[in-house]
Amino acid sequence: MNNIIKASFLLALGLLISCGGKEEKQKEKIQIGQKTNVETKKETPVSNEVPASKRITLENKGVGKITSLTLDATIDNAMVERGAALFKTNCTACHKTTKRFIGPNPTGILERRSPEWIMNMILDPKLMTEEDQCAKDLLVEFNGAAMANQNLTEQQARDILEYFRTLK
Amino acid sequence: MKKYKFQLLSLFGALMLLTSCGNNNGQNTSSGALNSSAAEKVYVAPGEHDEFYAFMSGGYSGNLTVYGLPSGRMFKEIPVFSQFPTSGYGYSEETKPMLETSHGFVPWDDSHHPDISQTNGELDGRWIFINGNNTPRIARISLSTFETEEIIEVPNSAGNHSSSFVTENTEYVVAGTRFSVPIPQRDMPINEYKGNFKGSLSFISVDPEHGHMDIKFQIIMPGFNYDLSHPGRGKSHGWFFFTTYNTEEANSLQEVNSSQNDKDFIAAINWKKIEAYVNNGGGIKVPANYAHNVYDESTHSATSMMKKEVLTVNPLDVPGAVFFLPTPKSPHGCDVDPSGEYIIGNGKLSADLTVHSFDRMLAAIEAKKFDGEAYGIPILKFEDVLAGTVKSGGLGPLHTEFDGKGNAYTTFFISSEVVKWKLGTWEVIDRKPTYYSVGHIMVPGGNSRKPFGKYAVALNKITKDRYLPVGPEMEHSAQIYDISGEKMELLYDFPTHGEPHYAAGIPASILAPKSKKLYRLDENKHPYAVTSPDQARVERKGNEVHIYMSTIRSHFTPDNIEGVKVGDKVYFHITNHEQDFDVPHGFAMIGQNTSELLIMPGQTKSSLWEPKQVGVWPFYCTDFCSALHQEMQGYVRVSPANSDIELSWSLDGD
């Protein structure tokens, strides 16, 4: 049963891709898989709660070794540069700054999450998804795709945070 | 749980009683059973770690297995000389060169004697070396990645058996030939063996920083069989000792014809003297052809090159460097005690052990007390070099290890037992049966200046009824003994993989802290690596298609590829972007005529696929990596050879 859903989802995904592809004549076949696709596309949570990705939890510092962090008023460009490079290598497999992907889009994240929460999530995603409610809910919202621990140092995570400040 | 433990205890209790039946010291066992429990001694609680690593040669598996002691749990099989589909070793583009030889690609060997690198005669835990016996090769394995990093072929050798033992500071890893052969190889009648065949003893230098191996010189010896060897240590550092048999130089029915002489020899080689001779321009460079294969950790790739020359030394050209010590009855193991004074010849067709004295040997050489010569090499007088004889009453002594407390432990193949005896007095202290027909024995550090004399592991050749039967073929059995007390205590049996010949043990405290957890992505220098997913791409060069792919839980980038044609050679170059411990990803393509890849975090591996049929063919991750592992797959569209579909690739439409 499960396999059928997965198979049809993949089929739909495959067809979607060919939409943007080079072979126009396949368009008609898309119709077959369209029905199952409608359901998967919406991603409306079962409850009427605000989804975790949209929730604003600025008071929550998360769980982990970062308990307090004050950001300078001005953005440090050297840190941003390093952070952007680190983000590209370590994070872009799952996070895009233009859209929701495997994980959430980090654009505007500082309007939703505290700096401490962001740092803790980068540094120990396993602990966070076990003990922090928001991280737990995000895991569910994002299809159970657990965030990878990329073994970054505190300074590297801080650079990425600085880069996030520029994403608005 | 409790019940289970009780059962275990009673089982071991019964076992202990059984073993004590074979003892000649009945009075000791009752108190022994009261104050110790064999089960407790080998029990390593869930989540706890073992005290020692044990590296068991894989014999005809060609590999090396890693066990924990005292639990006997197997942790890893390290592929060395054999293709290993589990990881893709020998199948991936990066590791195929590791198995190149002068005979072409040889995907298998018979691995025998692991030896851990040493500094000042003590285990330093940098590398472990092992020999391939069949197509003579020596491998070096990193003890931080636990991967094979280098393999060098040994020319002018056959049956590379008296190998791969290191000198006290890992100046050399030494490889001796068991089967003498024509040197150089040539077309000649076999029955002209005598006097014409030669045995080579190769001294392979080890670069102290990177471990890279290079054959410094080969000593071309008379055509005997050089069976086993060990380095001198402490005061005998600078010497190397090899047992010989077939000094008869028989070329047929050696089972009978090689056992005619009452005594064969231990060859004592003053390698420091020969090294100095060679450093002064001595020796003869001869043409040769042998492979040198090196794996580079930063490019995750191996290269193979053929070497065309080797430096040979005629022992007669270096007077005072090579001597023969008469040793009874086709000696097998050649073991040197931690002080470096005693050289033990385990005469495999004898009941006794012959122990030579290094000091007496030097004195005899000094006094020129020779008893003839063999092919110009001086033979010392047996009585002049003998330190003592261990009259054990056992049959078929093969190998000896040491505990660092003045005791030696010798295996007896024919009488299936381990005999503990005292160095210097030669008295037998204890004997315990093995199950069955023991070959080597291993005490961690037991062939170094500093053994860790807590456990001894007997590596048995015959298993028979020790485990549930599984048809005619069975794994070999190892047995661990507690040797911390006056009497040995058999603790546990465990099966081993392939046929472990020798083994090497080392305290976990030396290796565990430096065991590598992942490869850093920012140090990945693989020419086909993609260090960020936006570099993922597909390129065509004629009929070669190179797919630069990245992977992280749980998708491949790209996962939809079109424009591949029948007849193409498609190379998947996959970089694992995980940077977390123990998150490998696998890769397998339907119908691929090779194995999967198992790619460690931060690593790049490449696999070749030659599609033969039109269609849309899936690939997937073979290592259960996350809750979404089942979703980790992709498709390659294969079009007819004459198709004009352009190359394209995507992930989620991008």
Predicted confidence (pLDDT) per residue in B29-66, tens digit = 444 444 568 999 999 999 999 999 999 999 999 999 99
pLDDT digit string, tens, across residues B568-582: 999 999 999 999 999
Interface touch A146/B553, C-beta < 8 Å: yes
- Alpha-carbon distance B608 to B612, whole Å? 13
Share of chain B above pLDDT 70, in %: 94
- Alpha-carbon distance B324 to B242, whole Å? 9
pLDDT at B155: 98
Contacts of B562 in chain A (CB under 8 A): 21
pLDDT greater than 60 at residue A12:
no
What's the residue count for chain A? 168
Burial of B37 (0-12, 13-18, 19+ CB in 10 A): middle
Interface touch B562/A148, C-beta < 8 Å: no
- Alpha-carbon distance B423 to B429, whole Å? 11
Contacts of A13 in chain B (CB under 8 A): 652
pLDDT digit string, tens, across residues B347-388: 888 888 999 999 999 999 999 999 999 999 999 999 999 999
Q: Is B630 on the interface with A (CB under 8 A)?
A: yes
Across all residues in chain B, what is the average pLDDT?
A: 93
pLDDT greater than 60 at residue B226:
yes
pLDDT at B427: 96
Contacts of A17 in chain B (CB under 8 A): 560, 650, 652-653
Interface touch A93/B555, C-beta < 8 Å: yes
pLDDT at B348: 86
Closest alpha carbon within chain A to B558: A93
Question: Residue B545: how many CB atoms within 10 A of its CB?
Answer: 22
Residue with tokens 């794994």: B475
Contacts of A92 in chain B (CB under 8 A): 532-534
pTM: 0.88
Q: Is B627 on the interface with A (CB under 8 A)?
A: yes
- Comparing A30 with B178, the larger pLDDT belongs to B178
Contacts of A40 in chain B (CB under 8 A): none
pLDDT greater than 60 at residue B559:
yes
- Alpha-carbon distance B618 to B649, whole Å? 14
- pLDDT, average across residues A105-124: 97
Contacts of A22 in chain B (CB under 8 A): 645-646, 648
In Å, how far is B552's CA from the nearest CA of chain A?
A: 7
* Cα Rg, chain A, nearest whole Å: 19
pLDDT at B24: 42
Q: Where are the domains of chain B?
A: 53-514, 521-650
Q: Is B550 on the interface with A (CB under 8 A)?
A: yes
pLDDT at A27: 55
Burial of B279 (0-12, 13-18, 19+ CB in 10 A): exposed
> Which of A13, A22, A93 has its CB closest to that of B552?
A93
- pLDDT, average across residues B187-210: 97
pLDDT at A25: 54
Question: Residue B352: how many CB atoms within 10 A of its CB?
Answer: 19
| Residue B76 bridge partners (DSSP) | B66
- Alpha-carbon distance B448 to B141, whole Å? 19
Question: Residue B484: how many CB atoms within 10 A of its CB?
Answer: 14
- Alpha-carbon distance B570 to A11, whole Å? 24
Q: Best residue in B535, B562, B583, B604 to probe A by mutation, most A CBs within 10 Å?
A: B562
- pLDDT, average across residues B510-531: 96
pLDDT at B578: 95
Closest alpha carbon within chain B to A153: B579
In Å, how far is B544's CA from the nearest CA of chain A?
A: 22
Q: Is B628 on the interface with A (CB under 8 A)?
A: yes
Q: Best residue in A9, A89, A101 to probe B by mutation, most B CBs within 10 Å?
A: A89
pLDDT greater than 80 at residue B242:
yes
pLDDT greater than 60 at residue B282:
yes
User: What is the end-to-end Cα distance of chain B in Å, rounded?
Assistant: 54
Interface touch B522/A89, C-beta < 8 Å: yes
pLDDT at B2: 45
pLDDT at B32: 47
- Alpha-carbon distance B457 to B467, whole Å? 18
> Which of A20, A88, A146 has its CB closest to that of B626?
A146
pLDDT greater than 90 at residue A15:
no
Q: Is A2 on the interface with B (CB under 8 A)?
A: no
Question: Residue B456: how many CB atoms within 10 A of its CB?
Answer: 26
Closest alpha carbon within chain A to B529: A89
Q: What is the DSSP letter of B78?
A: E
Contacts of A129 in chain B (CB under 8 A): none
pLDDT greater than 80 at residue B640:
yes
> Which of B534, B577, B646 has its CB closest to that of A22?
B646
Share of chain B above pLDDT 90, in %: 89
Residues with Cβ < 8 Å from B449, sequence gap 6 or more? Answer: B120, B121, B122, B168, B233, B234, B338, B339, B340
SS3 state at B559 = coil
Residue with tokens 């202990």: B16
In Å, how far is B96's CA from the nearest CA of chain A?
A: 29
Interface touch B580/A6, C-beta < 8 Å: no
Is-contact B138 B129, C-beta < 8 A? yes
Contacts of B635 in chain A (CB under 8 A): 14
pLDDT at B16: 47
Closest alpha carbon within chain A to B563: A22
Q: Give kind and range of the element (H or E) at residue B198.
A: strand B197-206
The interface residues of chain A toward chain B in range 94-153, judged by CB-CB distance below 8 A, are 94, 101-102, 143-146, 148-152
Interface touch B579/A90, C-beta < 8 Å: yes
- Alpha-carbon distance B444 to B442, whole Å? 6
The CATH class for the domain spanning B53-514 reads: mainly beta
Q: Is B554 on the interface with A (CB under 8 A)?
A: yes
- pLDDT, average across residues B418-435: 97
Interface touch B653/A17, C-beta < 8 Å: yes
Residue with tokens 């089960």: B39
pLDDT at B260: 84
Per-residue confidence band for B3, with pLDDT thresholds at 50, 70 and 90: very low
Q: Is B560 on the interface with A (CB under 8 A)?
A: yes
- Alpha-carbon distance B274 to B288, whole Å? 21
- Alpha-carbon distance B253 to B249, whole Å? 11
Per-residue confidence band for A8, with pLDDT thresholds at 50, 70 and 90: low
In Å, how far is A67's CA from the nearest CA of chain B?
A: 23
Q: Is B516 on the interface with A (CB under 8 A)?
A: no
Contacts of A98 in chain B (CB under 8 A): none
pLDDT greater than 80 at residue B141:
yes
Q: Is A13 on the interface with B (CB under 8 A)?
A: yes
SS3 state at B347 = strand
Structure tokens that stand for B13 in this block: 């209790």
- pLDDT, average across residues A84-100: 94
pLDDT greater than 90 at residue A81:
yes
Residue with tokens 């546990």: B492
Q: Is B578 on the interface with A (CB under 8 A)?
A: yes
The CATH class for the domain spanning B521-650 reads: mainly beta
pLDDT at B254: 87
Interface touch A146/B557, C-beta < 8 Å: no
- pLDDT, average across residues A104-131: 96
> Which of A17, A151, A152 has its CB closest to that of B650?
A17
- Quote ipTM for the complex: 0.75
Contacts of B627 in chain A (CB under 8 A): 144-146
Per-residue confidence band for B212, with pLDDT thresholds at 50, 70 and 90: very high
Q: Best residue in B551, B616, B628, B646 to probe A by mutation, most A CBs within 10 Å?
A: B628
